[in-house]
Amino acid sequence: MEDRLLLIKNLLLSGEATTQESIQQFLKQKKFKVNQSTVSRDLKRLGAIRALDQDGQAVYRLAESMNSAPIPQNLLGSLSSLVLGIEFNDYNIVLKTSPGSAALIARHIDSSRIDGVIGTIAGDDTIFIAVKKPIYTAKIVQLLKSGLGISGI
């Protein structure tokens, strides 16, 4: 199993794992007989996530390799269309997004290292943003509106 996990890890690092089926086919070429359930469990063991590559194609990646990877510039405009609303109070900001897009947008917010943001928690279509002090809230909201193109909300 360790050999199989190492092969999958290397495939994920190459950025060529687009589907579980493609991973299964890759492993078959390397003489590993696995089904989709095994591939799914292996991806969980490795901490793999689905992400967008520079061309906007969904691929499997290792979560640890995504921490410092910036979102490609050509996708930032696309992010604004995924944000549906924003609400806030003194310490909290909540972004409503299209279903399935909260994690991608939260990753962008986290990687932007906005002054005053303690961190984000993303669900499927909602992002909770914790604010360090109330004096930061309005500035963060304004940055999010201008940076994600959600003015008018």
Q: What is the mean pLDDT of the chain?
A: 82
Residues 135 and 88 placed together within one structural domain of the fold: yes
Mean predicted confidence (pLDDT) in 128-139: 93
- The answer, yes or no, to whether residue 95 has pLDDT greater than 90, is yes
Residues 40 and 88 placed together within one structural domain of the fold: no
Q: Where does residue 80 rank: exposed (0-12), middle (13-18), buried (19+ CB within 10 A)?
A: middle
- The answer, yes or no, to whether residue 92 has pLDDT greater than 90, is yes
Q: Could you list the residue range(s) of the whole structural domain that residue 81 is in?
A: 75-147
What is the domain-level CATH number for residue 91?
3.30.1360.40
Question: Is position 152 within any domain?
Answer: no
Residues 140 and 81 placed together within one structural domain of the fold: yes
Mean predicted confidence (pLDDT) in 64-88: 65
Residues 62 and 97 placed together within one structural domain of the fold: no
Residues 93 and 118 placed together within one structural domain of the fold: yes
Domain count for the chain, please give it: 2
What is the domain-level CATH number for residue 30?
1.10.10.10
Give the model confidence (pLDDT) of 35-68 as tens digits.
Answer: 999 998 988 888 888 776 666 677 888 776 555 4
- The answer, yes or no, to whether residue 74 has pLDDT greater than 70, is no
- pLDDT at residue 153 in the model: 47
- The answer, yes or no, to whether residue 152 has pLDDT greater than 50, is no
- 53 vs 140, residue with greater confidence: 140
Question: Is position 125 within any domain?
Answer: yes
Residues 136 and 81 placed together within one structural domain of the fold: yes
Mean predicted confidence (pLDDT) in 99-125: 86
